[in-house]
Amino acid sequence: MTRNLLPGQLLEAYRKGIFPWTENPVTWWSPDPRGILPLDQLHVPRRLEKTIRSGAFTFTINQCFEEVVRGCAQPAEGREESWIGPCFIKAYGDLHQMGYAVSYEAWKDARLAGGLYGVKIGKFFAGESMFHHVRDGSSASLVFAANTLRSEGCQLFDLQMVTPHTAKFGAVEIRRSEYLKRLRIAIA
């Protein structure tokens, strides 16, 4: 892979199970094991499920893609620096214009509460990053995205790595060889 973040190169990389990790310089990764979220085994923690059912959030898709990416780029507790810089914002914005990058947004009181964005190719979705301004904003966005993707027939929700946060939702690790097999089927 070259050290650019051009839309065609990004799509080629995702189709091969590779994703960019850093911007300057651009580095490419394909971890083993790989974190995925099995959509048929999504677990919603009880308190979050109650919050979502209460109507505390409303949800949209692609209503403010760039704002979601910029929200993900902001420093947060435990992440004082972000890997999402101007090149990432431009590249994923280009993918969004081409119809391959998607954002899922949670709103509270007409204010963006949180969201996530990723790359969608066929029945494959690679979640890139998520953020929140309001408690549960990113988690509610993740649940909304997972439910939406499942209803659309998505076969593979790539998380790259399992974190303590995504593990609460049922994220698991699989071997790269198994991931690549599932990826080929999902993007076919």
Residue 72 lies in a domain: yes
From residue 95, how far is each of 11, 69, 88 by CA, in Å?
Answer: 8, 12, 10
CATH code, domain with 54: 3.40.630.70
Please check whether residue 27 lies inside any domain of the structure: no
- Overall pTM > 0.75: yes
- 99 part of a folded domain: yes
Identify whether 86 is preceded by a cis peptide bond (ω within 30 of 0): no
pLDDT tens sequence for the chain (188 residues): 445 689 999 999 999 999 998 887 888 999 999 999 999 999 999 999 999 999 999 999 999 999 999 999 987 666 566 678 888 999 999 999 999 999 999 999 999 999 999 999 999 999 999 999 999 999 999 999 999 999 999 999 999 999 999 999 999 999 999 999 999 999 99
Q: Which amino acid is at 133?
A: H
- Total of domains in the chain: 1
Q: Is residue 135 part of a domain?
A: yes
- Dmax (CA) for the chain in angstroms is 48
Residue 172 included in any domain: yes
User: Which domain range does residue 36 map to?
Assistant: 7-16+32-187
With respect to residue 52, please indicate whether it lies within any of the assigned structural domains.
yes
23 is a domain residue: no
Confirm whether 104 is domain-assigned. Answer: yes
Tokens of 51: 């919050």
Coil, strand or helix at 156: strand
Structure tokens at 64: 């403010």
